[in-house]
Amino acid sequence: MSLLGVESPPTSQVRNLIVDLCRQFYAKGWASGTGGGISIRHEDRIFMAPSGVQKERIRPEDIFVLDLNGEVVERALNPGLKVSDCKPLFMHAFNLRGAGAVLHSHSMNAMLASWLFGTHFRISNHEMQKGIAGTGAFDTLEVPIIPNTPHEHQLSDSIEQALNDNPKTQAVLVRGHGAYIWGKDWAQAKTQAECYDYLFEAAVRERQLGLDPLKLKGGQ
């Protein structure tokens, strides 16, 4: 069975899916200014959006194909394109978490939330927490926060350490930058990204109202 679903679709469908998701993420404000990215594992290959391009204008032939070791086995048709600078970070989620899809968001909500906390973003008593695997509405959800670096690939060691130190997390925040979020397949990665973004925004707004997002009590 494919990580994309019950049936194993042709690779053209995976390429088209990445194109569609990039456009959706651009519309959400997660991939503006050529930022952000997405990669999807399909059988023994990883399909990855290119780096430094306008994500809303990506075409299927712009997608890179890698093996499970992260080596490019099929380049984009356009020779001017390069594989995502997020590649080593995506590979950590594939290798350490068995992820089926990983996305990188430049969401304003993620960026702002990263400044509100120390080593971990923390929130509790929010219904949308249930959209994160293994988390209930009244649990305390934690997301590790790592410092930013001048270049994306330089985050590799910090991301790897964060995954090793936080075995249950489904995301990592990069301070002043954005977030990396993954799931068992593209659908879960997308759903969790939407839930995380909601919670990041909730924390920012609650702080503006003088509320502590960790101390709100919504249960009986």
Query: Which of the residues 43, 61, 74, 127 is marked catalytic?
Result: 127
d(CA 103, CA 86): 9
d(CA 109, CA 208): 13
User: In the numeric block, which tokens belong to residue 82?
Assistant: 């390069």
111-125 CB burial, b ≥16 within 10 A, e <16: bbbbeebeeebbbbb
d(CA 93, CA 99): 6
Residue 136 CA: distances (Å) to CA of 116, 125, 142: 22, 9, 12
Residue 50's contacts (CB-CB under 8 Å, 6 or more residues apart) are 58, 62, 63, 64, 76, 81, 82, 83, 84
Q: Is 127 a catalytic residue?
A: yes
* Helices and strands per DSSP (H, E), number in the chain: 5, 11
130 DSSP assignment: G
Query: Do 89 and 152 contact (CB within 8 A), yes or no?
Result: yes
- Which residues are annotated as catalytic? 127
